[in-house]
Amino acid sequence: MKVAGRSTRTIWLHADGWSVEIIDQTQLPHRYTTARLTTLDEAAHAIRAMLVRGAPLIGATAAYGLCLALRKDASDETLAAAAKTLLATRPTAVNLRWALERMQTALLPLEPAQRPAAAYVLAAEICDEDVRLNEAIGTHGLELIRAIAAKKPPRARVNILTHCNAGWLATVDWGTALAPVYKAYDAGIPVHVWVDETRPRNQGASLTAWELGSHGVRHTVICDNAGGHLMQRGQVDLVIVGTDRTTAAGDVANKIGTYLKALAAKDCGVPFYVALPSPTIDWTIEDGVRDIPIEERDAREVSHIRGADTSGRITEVQLIPNGSSAANPAFDVTPARLVTGLITERGLCPATREGLRSLYPI
């Protein structure tokens, strides 16, 4: 997508041909800055500290993290140790495991001397593939939005609610949940997005709002508790969210609070769709509530909040009394029964085992 008129991805190779550049998402929306990753440890830190985040982008960054490790030492031992370090950075998004397994499977049979070059080729392929998959999700999701628009009076806006950031910043480009929104906007459909702020890290308020605004898409930031009310009042036509891991039976892990939106949508009869590229499907598990590991992050993300002060300086303030404890589960699981449908790169399907297998046969 475009930043200040320039086509930009979230991750790319530096002009030196080996180090890796990323957008430092911890500085948005106040500052657009990039960071350069030169070592495995820097790549692992970028994922852990959420300079990069979002399931597909975490996978792509991990792939380049392996490249950086192999540049120094391409032995079997380093490949295994680097993959272990990267895998431990964030537990919920399954794209991380998928990307590391894909890299290891391709690289292990090669002679060590061949591995660094092959790793860079494969990491670039993973990135390009992510862009293709997400654009296809956009094309399929567009039809959903077009159908809703067709039932409304001419030029009436289509109101879409989203949670967290599942836009291009969460992927290499296009995004998952927001890809259909960008396609609809580009097709001239009057879309408007309700953006959940998404406490505690505010990916909605800081990232989704920033990227929609940069593309010119009308949007309104709401506090996380407002969605149910807006649905009851008929002000939401459709909910689309992303996912960090979808089980073989269609249960969906996504940013904490997604489950509550799905419950409200069910109660109000609002369609609740989840957009995902196939690397986000974990075929090894069925029951997401039981089997998806939920990341527990630093309680400081709850007890404190970051923002820019009146002079534009990024600062942090404390919200809770000294001595109060805070807990920070970062994701929740929405059971498949609450999901109207899945939007994948191969089309739409019900959030069921059979639905997924109709698109991805064994």
How far, in Å, are 27, 62, 64, 215, 298 from residue 41 at the CA level?
A: 20, 11, 12, 33, 20
Q: What angle do CA 176, 296, 30 make, to 5 degrees?
A: 55
The reply on whether position 200 binds ligand MRU by CB under 6 A is no
248 near ligand MRU (CB under 6 A):
no
Using CA atoms, how far apart are residues 297 and 333, in angstroms rounded to an integer?
16
1 binds ligand MRU (CB under 6 A): no
Show the tokens assigned to 66: 């392996």
Comparing CB distances to ligand MRU, the nearer of 254 and 340 is 254
Give the gyration radius of the chain's Cα atoms: 20
* 164 vs 256: CA distance, rounded Å: 9
Return the bridge partners of 329, or none.
296
| Residue 254 interacts with ligand MRU (CB under 6 A): yes or no | yes
Burial of 259 (0-12, 13-18, 19+ CB in 10 A): buried
Q: With binding defined as CB under 6 A, does residue 330 bind ligand MRU?
A: yes
Task: Find the part of the chain contacting ligand MRU (CB under 6 A) among 67-75, 105-113, 186-194, 237-245.
Answer: 237-245
Residue nearest to ligand MRU (CB): 242
Query: Which is closer to ligand MRU, CB of 203 or CB of 247?
Result: 203
Closest to ligand MRU by CB, 102 or 115: 102
From 196, 237, 244, 332, the catalytic residue? 244
Least distance from C-beta 351 to ligand MRU, angstroms?
15
Give least dist CB 243 to ligand MRU, A.
5
Contact 98, 158 (CB under 8 A): no
Instruction: Please say which residue, 208 or 340, places its beta carbon nearer to ligand MRU.
Output: 208
CB of 1 to ligand MRU, least distance (A): 14
Tell me if the bond preceding 200 is cis, omega within 30° of 0.
yes
CA-CA-CA-CA torsion for 323, 331, 85, 19, nearest 10 degrees?
A: -100
Which of 98/120 has CB closer to ligand MRU? 98
Within its chain, how far is the Cα of 342 from the centroid?
Answer: 15
The two tokens of residue 266 are 């069910």
Q: How far is the CB of 61 from ligand MRU (least distance, A)?
A: 11
Q: How many residues make contact with ligand MRU (CB under 6 A)? A: 17
Q: Is 267 a catalytic residue?
A: no
335 binds ligand MRU (CB under 6 A): no
Helix then strand count (H, E) for the chain reads 13, 18
Task: Say which amino acid occupies 209.
Answer: A
Q: What is the distance of C-alpha 171 from the center of its chain?
A: 6
Site string for ligand MRU, 144-183 (x = CB under 6 A): --------------------x-x---xx----x-------
User: What is the rounded CA–CA span in Å between residue 57 and residue 129?
Assistant: 12
Site residues (CB under 6 A) for ligand MRU, limited to 49-68: 53-56
Asked if residues 209 and 307 have their Cβ atoms less than 8 Å apart, the reply is no
- Tell me the window of 8-16, 65-73, 138-146, 239-247 that interacts with ligand MRU (CB under 6 A): 239-247
Q: Examine residue 243 and tell whether it contacts ligand MRU (CB under 6 A).
A: yes
Which of the stretches 47-55, 102-110, 228-236, 261-269 binds ligand MRU when contact is defined by CB under 6 A?
Answer: 47-55
Q: Which amino acid does the sequence have at 232?
A: Q
Residues annotated as part of the active site: 244
- Residue ranges binding ligand MRU (CB under 6 A): 53-56, 93, 164, 166, 170-171, 176, 203, 242-244, 254-255, 330
